[in-house]
Structure 1
Amino acid sequence: MGSRSLSSLAAATLLLAGCQLRADELRSTAAPRLPATAVAAAATDTAAPRRPTAPVPDSLRLTAVAATPGVPDTLRQAIRQLHAALGPAAAELRPEVLEQACVGYLTLHPTGRIERAGLLAVADMDLPNTTERLWVIDLKAAKVLHRSYVAHGEGSGHLRARRFSNEEKSACTSLGFYRTAGTYDGIHGYSRRIEGLDKGQNGNAFDRYVVLHAADYASPKYIEKYGHLGYSRGCPALPPEQFKDIIATMRVGSMMLLSGPGIKSRWLDGPAAGRRFVQRGWR
């Protein structure tokens, strides 16, 4: 082979090596390295290579929810049975979040802070806002009365609520247990006031005018158009198609839990809830 041919071959080899190096660098920064078996399978695939997908703005990997400490086995089993009895409507309600709501209800009701027996609302704000993540539950009938979308505050995150605050101008959702108060007609129309029952975590909700109200940005149509719900100033805003029924069901003295990462509450008292359940059940 002549010197010119050798030079051409060497140049081609270097060019190929350079392309391979850049491809390796791209893989190391854009995606995790595939297992050897996957690489081998890809080498035999004759289909056109896939285009890289756009980055996801928020991770959809949910935060693990720990079981509530101190819950007796009798109560924990009753909550599991309740979850099963609620059926498909509660399939996306995580059992640990339902447990939080039930423990809080059983602890709060005897104190007189909530007057409405056998009913609770629970929103898992760790779920993406494209999920119907609010449930209103009749405990005695073991029935989901309402399930709906619910918006979180614009200060709390994009698809999922990740930041929470009790501060006046934070525009964040506040976690914890709430008592429903009276209704009024305000800038959002028919609305219901709610009172935070966890000092330091949602105790400013009433003064912040965190309320249940309707919002166009909390509707399925908004999701169809934009791919996610819009955002409130901290209110758990509801779909216009459902808000009246939900507000009517959650009449004065009902309990609502907004659950999410980092929630802390004196009402998550497993032993006290267990004692109450033995005495009165869900009444």
Structure 2
Amino acid sequence: MKKTLGFTSLFLAAMSFGSFGIWIRLLNKEISIYQQIVLRNSFALVIVVLIVLLTKQFKNIEWKKMKKLNLALYIFLIPLAVIAYNIAMINAKIAIATFAFYVGTILTGWFAGIFFYQEKLNREKLLALFFVILGLGLFAYPFSNMSINLGFIAGIVSGVLDGAANIFRKDLAGKISKLILVLLTAIGGVFVSGIMMLYFKQSLYSFYTVSATTWIVGAFFGFLLIVINYLLLLGFQNFDLGLGSIVLSLELLFALIFGMIVFNEIPTSREMLGGLLILVAIVTPSLRLFLVRGENR
């Protein structure tokens, strides 16, 4: 595995995830959250289809050798995770929903890494797990009995589904073109988000009345989804599942930074401490490497 490439890819994916709040707020001026999901996934599908056709990615794919069940699970786990995440956001505070999501994602990644990929668990990794859970907890604090509700459970489910999707990302990334996998994800995203839009009775007519700015932001958001999905495939192909899930939690820190820069939102001391602990969690697994190098000098 090319771990530097894997880490860099996941780091950039976390940074991109952290910018989601900017694009969602810009789109929210004219269309609902469910219409946004349809719009960005539709743009992602159109763009990635063009890329796949131009680069002739369909050639040399041995579909018969593909595990159809793994491919189907990969396609639908991601949009199902999005549905569960939206349910969490509707029924719980954003901080609680995000905390639950990352707890589910990180723990699923750790267990999958240990049992399916024989990733070793050492003291540094356990410390990293402790620091990241503590950091996430600071974002969600204070807790109460009301915090453990449908939204919290949906957040955990969303995280578990996303963590499971990461398993298939790691499994499939080296066996089939990453662009094809991104295309399949986009198809699943349009299908599931379309069902969500119909279920919540969101009108398609709204798209005819939106401004050019909304279309441009939607197109950029769709392109960003393609980039993120590609980075996730590249990242988990070359990095541990457990530690990779922790790297992705940097999204929260980047969200704080983008909030300060774009919206002039000043984070609380608790949020800054939480972000610092997440950074510590990412650095901690590398301590043994640095110590060994220091002893060898």
What's the TM-score, normalizing by structure 1?
0.26
Higher share in strand: 1
What's the TM-score, normalizing by structure 2?
0.25
Greater RCO (CA < 8 Å, at least 6 residues apart): 2
